[in-house]
């Protein structure tokens, strides 16, 4: 009975976490849209379809990979300092781009 109760409590905890992270992802994508349109869309297109820069939809990078590329710069793309776009903002941009299409 005690073991059953523990499993039950763990399940409740997990579903609460799932519900919570669901909300976070939605909020992130919304923030990411704003950041993307302000900074990245000029070169990557308003919907990430590409323009002066390559398409970012479907997104082939993990959020941490995007942060690394953004900090280092790539080819014609200048490096983006934290003062311009924070790690969190880049993660939100990744969430937004994912929400536009995952390539499937
Ligand atoms: C001034 C134009 C410009 C802006 C603004 C810009 N980029 Fe880029 N970006 C480029 C170009 C050009 C490349 C291609 C570089 C290369 O491969 O030579 C690129 C490449 C990338 C790549 C690598 C794509 C790949 O798969 O090789 C990522 C990721 C990326 N940009 C993310 C961003 C994000 C996030 C922002 C907004 C914070 C942004 N870029 C803003 C021009 C831009």
Query: Mind listing the pLDDT tens digit of every residue in the chain (104 residues)?
Result: 577 666 666 666 656 555 555 566 777 999 999 999 999 999 999 999 999 999 999 999 999 999 999 999 999 999 999 999 999 999 999 999 999 987 55
> Domain range holding 69?
2-100
Q: Which residues of 73-97 are buried (b: 16+ CB within 10 A; e: fewer)?
A: eeeebeebeeeebeeebbbbbbbbb
User: Tell me, what CATH number does 14's domain have?
Assistant: 1.10.760.10
Residues with CB under 6 A from ligand 1: 39-40, 42-44, 52-54, 56, 60-61, 66, 69-70, 74-77, 80, 85, 90, 93
Q: Which pTM does this prediction carry? A: 0.82
Choose one of 29, 33, 37, 43 to mutate for the ligand 1 pocket test, by most ligand atoms within 8 angstroms of C-beta.
43
Cβ 1 vs Cβ 71: under 8 Å: no
Positive or negative: CA dihedral 53, 79, 66, 92: negative
Number of domains the chain contains: 1
């Amino acid at each position: 009975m005690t073991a059953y109760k523990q499993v039950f409590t763990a399940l409740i905890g997990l579903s609460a976490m799932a519900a919570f992270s669901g909300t976070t992802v939605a909020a992130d994508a919304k923030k990411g849209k704003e950041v993307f349109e302000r900074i990245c869309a000029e070169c990557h297109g308003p919907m990430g379809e590409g323009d002066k820069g390559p398409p970012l939809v479907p997104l082939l990078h993990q959020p941490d990979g995007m942060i690394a590329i953004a900090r280092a710069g790539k080819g014609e793309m200048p490096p983006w300092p934290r003062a311009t776009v924070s790690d969190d903002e880049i993660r939100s941009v990744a969430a937004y781009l994912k929400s536009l299409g995952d390539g499937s």
